[in-house]
Amino acid sequence: MTETPTKTPRTRQPQDNDEIDIGFLLGSLWDHKIFIVVLAVVFAAIGLVHAMLSTPIFKADALVQVEQKSGTIAGADMQQVLGQQEPSASTEVEILRSRMILGQVVDQTDLDVQVVPNTVPVIGEWLRRKGIERPGFMTGEESVWAGESLRIGDLVTSHDSQTLQLTLRSEGQGRFSVYDAKGNLLGKGARGEKLTIEQPWIELLVTDLSAPDGATFTVVKKSRLAAIKGLEGRLQIQSLGKETGMLRLNLTGPDQQEIVESLNATTDVFLTQNIARQAAEAEKSLAFLEEQVPKVREQLTQAENRLNEFRLKNDSIDLSFETQNALNSLVSIEASLNELELQESELARRFTPNHPVYRSLLEKKEQLLREKARLEKRTDNLPETQQQVLRLSRDVKVTQEIYVQLLNRMQELRLAKAGTVGNVRILDDAVVQGQVAPRRNLIVAVAGMSGLLLAMVIVLLRAAFSRGIVSPEQLEELDLPVYATVPLSEEEKRRSDKRRQIKQDRRRKDGSIKGLLAVRNPADLSVEAIRGLRTSLHFAMMEGSDNRLVITGPSPSIGKSFLATNLAAVCAQAGQKVVVVDGDMRKGHVHEAFKQGSHDGLSEVLSGKLEFEQAIRTSELEGLSWISRGSAPPNPSELLMQPRFTDFLDYLSKTFDLVIIDTPPILAVTDAAIIGKQCGTSLMVVRFGVNTPKEIQIAENRLATGGVTLKGTILNAMEKKAATSYGYYGYYNYAYKSD
């Protein structure tokens, strides 16, 4: 026998390609379009179910107008006097959000008490919304169904935590039991009767309980602050324009009645506090005037007494025309000064004397004082008696003018206080506008898109991390000739899947998964491709040193046995005398193709238990013989290295025109290299989309290291796919053990 010379293994590096191949990505998506669509539909269905089972959230809205303030005191609108602008709408928004307003709303509507019915898991709330009442077989269950309710009239507790959770269990006919969060019984009560519990201290009044025996409700008592924060989180306030003063209030929640009542209470409390705030200005001014009136009245009485006494002493002296004019002017100036004094008292509470408005008032006051001094200087030329009468008359008239002015102002303030309406108007009461969540169409669309994107990501990740050989050109770039591309046989694929299922179930193999495709269906596309391989091998083996052909591959389950047996069949159909040897003594299954067992085969021949001619079996196809793997030995590689294996191959070469040997995968064991060294022609089977360029390169190097020159490759199980680009990733060492 002529030995094949040992050659140095080739160490070629595949061409690097870091560019993103858009065509490959799009093709991969198209190849898995059914998976993508199915996953998108599944996610959309899950979204639809979620939207249907979710508790609906409703929105109520109300419209409020904040008008500019009008003076409540005639002639004393301090906002105009001070030159201040009206509070902006943002100020009113913050007032609406304040704990002062929302706290009163919580107190009025009992938002700190929440009753949650314990329903059937997942679908219980949906059943209640659909009005499905308790079925007969659910009697005594804890779940609450449609038509069953609990209403708390009063719940007072001394707890300091954020929430206090109680469980109320109906005992039928309006009676109930109360349990704490740990399930401890706290007390029992009846509808309409106040229940007092000492530890923890609780006062509970149930006004309505319509539920059968066994139904349970969770009662949550929130702290006032927690209830305020909860209301604030659901309340939205929008300002409609900068100068309109229009505020739209929106409140969301699952209970339509609750959100309407809470929103109406919010607008009512806002209006009430606004009126109280407006009336407070009149109250402060009225209190100040009520303190001053008795003092002014006393001053007026004293001034009148002094004037009367002087006239009695001086025989009722009358004022001259000039003195009367001076008196009138002085009285007018004094009245103006008194008005300025009132305004100054208001300004002193708000500003310092350096404020522009305050300085303007002081300047006006100084001007009046100068005018007063000028008039007083003119009266100095009058007779002493006239001067005295003038001073006393002026005191009477000025004090009288002040007194009348104060009385008028007090009357105005009383009228203003009684008629205060505030500058807030409720234009629209709260009305439920409809359901705002869940938005079923949006949820279904988002869920469907999520499923679509997830499926696409999965497909692209799989394509990125498992980019096996998908075209002959990829093998040719590795300097490996491609002798044939064998399309995937759908019939054989179904039979292989059935074989794997039977192996997984550990059932005995039967004839339904056996047989040669070339005999069973000669017109199959795979068989036609194998016939082309037969022609290519005729010329390839002419250069070989013998008539032996080794079929190997980098990994298991890539179709080596299928190609070996069917290639032998088509060669036998062409008139050659062919033998197929199952060289895989660990897991070979050539015997399945011939519908017989694996006993009395190669392992028995190599161990000397069987003669050469006794191991050869004939098949139903004339000219085709085969040799099974035999019993699985503990040392297959050592048996192949014995001289008896060489003698056996020589015997077969002389007996048959063509010897085809099916070997184990080279990346798993070294048997293929041992067998290939004694054969003239070796071909490697590459599985479409499974074996990567890196795997093929390592397999070729291992064969070359063992002295085997690889003639070429066979691209098996070729599929028509849109993705035609390629790449390679790391190879794997496959576990390969005997059955």
Name the average pLDDT for the chain: 83
Segment 415-425, tens digit of pLDDT: 766 656 678 88
Task: Return the closest-CA partner of residue 568 out of 654, 626, 510, 613.
Answer: 626
Q: How far is CA 277 from the centre of its chain?
A: 45
Identity of the residue numbered 648: F
pLDDT of residue 624: 96
CB of 208 closer than 8 Å to CB of 148: no
570-580 pLDDT, tens digit per residue, is 999 999 999 99
Distance from chain centroid for Cα 661: 59
Count of residues in the chain: 739
Alpha-carbon distance values, 339 to 308, 368, 409, 678, 713 (Å): 28, 12, 11, 128, 114
Beta strand 246-253 with 57-66 is antiparallel
Predicted confidence band at 2 (pLDDT cuts at 50, 70, 90)?
very low
What percent of the chain has pLDDT above 90?
50
Predicted pLDDT of residue 337: 78
* Higher-pLDDT residue of 697, 332: 697
pLDDT surpasses 70 at 162: no
pLDDT in tens, 142-158: 999 999 999 999 999 87
Q: Residue 13: what pLDDT?
A: 43
Q: Tokens for 616?
A: 């050869």
Q: What is the pLDDT of residue 12?
A: 41
Report residue 493's pLDDT band, with 50, 70 and 90 as the boundaries.
Answer: low
pLDDT of residue 371: 78
In a 3-state reduction of DSSP, which class is residue 645? helix
- What was the pLDDT predicted at 75? 39
The per-residue pLDDT for range 463-491, each reduced to its tens digit, is 777 678 888 988 999 999 999 999 988 77
Which comes out higher in pLDDT, residue 409 or 99?
99
Q: How would residue 87 be classed by pLDDT, with cut points 50, 70 and 90?
A: low
Give 63-93 as a DSSP string.
EEEEPPP--SSTT--HHHHHTPPPPPHHHHH
In 10 A of CB 264, how many CB atoms? 20
Q: Are 212 and 144 in contact (CB under 8 A)?
A: no
pLDDT value for 195? 94
Query: How many C-beta neighbours within 10 Å does residue 26 have?
Result: 13
What is the pTM for the complete model shown? 0.64
Q: pLDDT band for position 25 (50/70/90)?
A: confident
* Collapsed DSSP state (helix, strand, coil) of residue 639: helix
Position 722 scores a pLDDT of: 65
Q: In this structure, are residues 540 and 712 in contact, taking their beta carbons and an 8 Å threshold?
A: yes
pLDDT of amino acid 576? 94
Q: Is the pLDDT of residue 379 over 50?
A: yes
Residue percentage of the chain with pLDDT more than 70 = 83
Q: Identify whether the C-beta of residue 553 lies closer than 8 Å to the C-beta of residue 506.
A: no
Interval 8-34 mean pLDDT: 64
57-61, 186-190, 535-539: least confidently modelled range: 535-539
Q: What is the pLDDT of residue 72?
A: 42
Long-range contacts of 16-24 (CB under 8 A, 24+ apart): 17/727, 21/725, 23/723, 23/724, 23/725, 24/463, 24/467, 24/723, 24/724, 24/725, 24/726
Q: Mean pLDDT over residues 188-201, rounded?
A: 91
Q: Is 58 a residue whose pLDDT tops 60?
A: yes
The three-state DSSP-derived secondary structure of 270-325 is HHHHHHHHHHHHHHHHHHHHHHHHHHHHHHHHHHHHHHHHHHHHCCCCCCCHHHHH
- List, in order, residues 6 or more apart from 330 with CB less than 8 Å away: 372, 375, 376, 390, 394, 398
pLDDT of residue 386: 63
| 78 close to 278: Cβ distance less than 8 angstroms | no
Distance CA 206, CA 218 (A): 13
Return the closest-CA partner of residue 319 out of 392, 266, 258.
Answer: 392
| pLDDT (tens digit per residue) in 522-542 | 888 899 999 999 988 887 787
Residue 460 three-state SS: helix
**In this model, does residue 84 exceed pLDDT 60?**
no
Residue 53's SS3 state is: helix
